Structures are given as C-alpha cells and as structure tokens.
Structure 1
Amino acid sequence: MAERKSFLLRLDPAVHDALARWAGDELRSVNAQIEFLLRKALAEAGRLPPDARRPARRGRPRKRPADETGAGAGTNDGTERADDQ
C-alpha cells in the first residue's frame, strides 16, 4: 500500500466541533470525514484525479469463506455437518 500523505490542518474550533459531530453521525473519524468531503468536492468539480485510489471500505473486513481459509466450514445456523456428528 502506498504511503499516505499527512499534513497539519488548522481549523476554527467551531468548524472542528461541527465536523466531529457530523463524522460521529456517520460513524467516521474526523480525518475520514474530511477526506470524504474533499473527494466529494473534487469529484463534483471534475477535478478528482483518475489515478486516485478508492477510499478504504468502512467497517470490519469481510470474512473469507472457509474453503479459502482452510478452516472447517461449519454452518452458523445451529445445525451440524454430517462429518461433525
């Protein structure tokens, strides 16, 4: 994964508080909310570079199917597989 750029951003405290509330409402960090808003503004202005990477997916990573992980593939509905009996 490419290194992400970091920089100092000075904001009016009231603006930061408003961003923090908005980010909390959408279950994002303030940093992720700022990036979301910047990407949206760039896209709407037709200035989002075509080589810009997509933002990371929100939430917990998806579980891989058991056949890909090599682990046993039991079901989660309370039933047993034939070889588990």
Structure 2
Amino acid sequence: MASPDKKAFALRVDPALWAEVERLAAQELRSANAQAEVLLREALAKRGIKLGPPKARPPLTPPDPETP
C-alpha cells in the first residue's frame, strides 16, 4: 500500500532496466519501489543535490482491545 505522504506516479521503464532494479532490491532486502527511490536519491546526491533523510513510517500500534 502506498504511503499517504508519498507522491504516486506511473513510470515507463525498459524491462531490462527494471529487472536490474528488482535484482538489486532483492539483494538489499528492499521493494523495487524503495530501491528506485534509493537510486534516485543517490543520483541527485552525485549531482550535489542533498535531500533530508527519508521520512520514517509511524510505528504500527496494536489495536485497542477496548475498541469494538
């Protein structure tokens, strides 16, 4: 499920390129989407554009047993 604080968009990518993104993602225990974001951040940093750290997801809280 997409995070509400992230921009969703369609991306057309060469299948061979996406296969490599998926391969890297599997090696680094990430989703392909997270791997694409890492690669974009690295490319921007290489060009001297620094972004803050990615926003952390809020922790999952167990449901309140008092709530029906």
CA RMSD in angstroms, aligned pairs only? 2.3
What fraction of aligned residue pairs are identical, expressed as a percent? 48
The reply to whether residue 32 of structure 1 matches residue 34 of structure 2 is yes
1:25-77: per-residue Cα shift (whole Å, max 9, x none)?
A: 0001000001001111111211234xx4x2256xxx7xxxxxxxxxxxxxxxx
**Structure 2: which 5+ residue stretches go unaligned?**
60-68
* Separation in 1, partners of 2:46, 2:18: 23
The residue matched to 2:30 in structure 1 has which SS?
A: coil
- Matched positions, count: 55
Runs of 4+ aligned structure 1 residues displaced above 6 Å come to: none
Structure-to-structure mapping, 1:1-85, within 5 angstroms:
3-49=5-51, 52=52, 54-56=53-55
TM-score (ref. length: structure 1): 0.55
TM-score (ref. length: structure 2): 0.66
**Structure 1: which 5+ residue stretches go unaligned?**
62-85
* Separation in 2, partners of 1:31, 1:55: 13
* Separation in 2, partners of 1:48, 1:38: 11
The structure whose Rg is larger is 1
